[in-house]
Structure 1
Amino acid sequence: MHFRSASVQFRLSKLCREEFSKELYRPGVISLARIVWGSLGGGLLLGLIAILSGKTEIKVLYPPLAATCFINTTCVFLRVARPKSVVVGHTVASICGLAGVWIGNYIDPGTEFIIPLKLGLSVLLAAVFMQIFDADHPPAAATAAIPAILPLPMPWYLLPLHMAWGATITVIFAFIWNRIWFEFPARDSDNYVKNAGLYMEKVQIAGVAICIVSCIIMCFQSISPTVRIIGLCGMTVGNIILGTHHFKILSQVN
C-alpha cells in the first residue's frame, strides 16, 4: 500500500510539472493548469489590490493593473512579466502619461484634437522610455493613456509611486503564487544565473527588495506623515536602482 501511494504521488507530481512547464503553461496552448491556476491567480490578485487600496487609501488605476495581473499569473515565462518590467514599466509610464498631458496642453490648449494629441504623446513617450529603462510592459501603456482622458483618483504627483505600489503587490503575489509550481522569475537569455535562489541579477534583487519593503511601509502610511514619506522615498529609490542598473552594464560592454 505504501509503495502504491508513493507511486501515485510521483505520477501526480510528474503530471503537475508537465502541466506547468514552459512548453504548456504559455499563450498559444489551451492548458488546463493555466486556465484554472492562472485565471484564479489573476482574479484573486486584482481583488487583493482593490482591498488593500481601500484599506490603505492608496489609490491606483485598476485597468492597467488588471492586465498586469493577467500577465503575472498566466504569461509568467514572458520577459514582460519579470519584476523589473512590471514595477519600472508602470512607474515610467505614469510619468510619461503626465508629461504627455502637460505637453499636449501647452501645444494645443483647447481644440478638438487635444485628447488625441495627449493620448498619442503619452503612449509615444511611454514606449520610448520603457525601452530606454529596459522595462517593456504592455499594460503600462494604459497607465500612460489614462491621465489624458480620465480624472485621476489621486493627486497627479502621487500617480507614479501609487502605481509602483500596485505593481509591487503584483510582483509579491506572483512570487508566492507561481513558485508553488515553477521557478519565477523564469530563466531567460539575460537571466540564467541564480542569485539568492532567483534568476535575477543581484542589483535587481536589491531593487525589488527595497520596493517590497517600501510597499509594506506605504500600507501603514496612516500611522504618521513620517511613515508615509519613508515609504514613498523608499519606493523611489527602489525604482531608480531597478531602472538604471543596466546603464552601467551597457557602458562596460561599450
Structure 2
Amino acid sequence: MSLETENGPSLSLAETAASYLRRNGPLALVSGLGGALAVGLLAALSASLEHLLLIASFGASCVLLFALPQSPLARPRNVICGHVLSALVGLLVLSVLGDGVLAMAVGVGVAIAVMQFTGTLHPPAGGNPLIVIMTGAGWSFLILPVLAGTVLLVAVALVYHRLFSKRAYPA
C-alpha cells in the first residue's frame, strides 16, 4: 500500500510510519518517561511510608501532565482541585446514597458539574467518585492519597519539564 505525496512519488505505509516515528518518537518517549517516573515515585513512596499515595485516576492525569503539559486541563489548579473536588463529591454521595448504581451515576455527574462550575476541569478526576464509592473510601481519602498524591504529581511534572523535557509547564 502506498500514499501519494504532494510533490510526486508515493510513500509506502511503512515509510510514512517510519517518518512519523522519527518526528514524534522522541517526544513520546520523553512523555512516557515522565509518567513512569511520577507513578514510580508515588508507588515507591506509598510502599515506604505505608500510606496510599497512588490511585488509578492518577495514571490518566500523567497523560495530561507529561504528554499535553500545555493543555488547560493539565494546569496545577485543575489537577489538584479537580481531583480533590471530585473525591469530595464521591465521599458526600457515598454518605448520602450509599454504594449503589445511582450513587455512582450521581457522583460522576455532580463531579463533572462541580469541576466545570469551579473552572477546575480535569477529566481523569471524573473517575474519583467511582473509586470512592466502589471502595467505600473514608474521609481521610481526601488527604491521602488525593491531595498529597496530586501535589506530588504536579511537583514532579514541574521539575521534570524544567530539567528534562524542556517544555513549558504550566502553560
Q: 1:177 aligns with which of 149, 154, 160?
A: 160
Question: 2:94, 2:136 within 8 Å by CA — same for their partners in 1?
Answer: no
CA contact (8 A) 1:89 1:136 kept: yes
Aligned letter for 1:122? Answer: G
Deviation at 1:92, TM superposition (A): 0.5
Please name the residue that 1:55 is paired with.
48
Could you tell me how far 1:103 is from its partner in structure 2?
2.4
CA contact (8 A) 1:104 1:121 kept: no
Q: Distance in 2 between matches of 1:80 and 1:42?
A: 16
Length, aligned pairs only: 146
Within 2, Cα distance between the matches of 1:104 and 1:34? 45
Q: CA deviation at 1:61?
A: 4.7
* Equivalent residue letter for 2:102: L
Q: Deviations over 1:163-187 (max 9, x none)?
A: 011001111011011123122111x
The one of 81, 95, 120 equivalent to 1:102 is 95
Q: Which residue, 31, 38, 58 being the options, matches 1:38?
A: 31
Q: Which residue of 1 aligns with 2:7?
A: none
State the AA in 1 paired with 2:131.
Answer: I
Partner secondary structure for residue 179 of structure 1: helix
Q: Runs in 1 of length 4+ with deviation above 4 angstroms?
A: none
Shift in Å, 1:125: 1.6
Q: Please list every run of 5 or more consecutive structure 2 residues that lacks an aligned counterpart in the other structure.
A: 1-22
Given that residues 68 and 139 in structure 1 are in contact (C-alpha distance below 8 angstroms), is that contact kept between their aligned partners in structure 2? yes
* TM-score for both structures, normalised by structure 1: 0.54
Per-residue deviation, residues 91-126 of structure 1 (Å, max 9, x unmatched): 101100111212223xxxxxxxx6220111111121
Q: Which residue of the partner structure matches residue 69 of structure 1?
A: 62
- Post-superposition offset of 1:57: 2.8
Q: Which has more strand, going by share of residues?
A: 2
Distance (whole Å) between structure 2 residues aligned to residue 69 and residue 124 of structure 1: 23
Q: Does 1:125 align with 2:118?
A: no
User: Does residue 167 of structure 1 match 2:167?
Assistant: no
2:86 aligned with 1:93, yes or no? Answer: yes
Quote the Cα distance in structure 2 between the aligned partners of 1:34 and 1:144. 32
Taking structure 2 as the reference length, the TM-score comes to: 0.79
Q: Find out whether 1:157 has 2:139 as its counterpart.
A: yes
CA–CA distance in structure 2, aligned partners of residues 57 and 132 of structure 1: 35
Aligned counterparts of 1:53 and 1:133: Cα–Cα separation in 2:
30
RCO higher in structure (CA 8 A, sep ≥6): 2
**Matched residues, percent identical?**
25
Q: More helix by proportion, 1 or 2?
A: 2
Looking at structure 2, the residues matched to 93 and 101 of structure 1 have their Cα atoms a distance apart, in angstroms, of 12
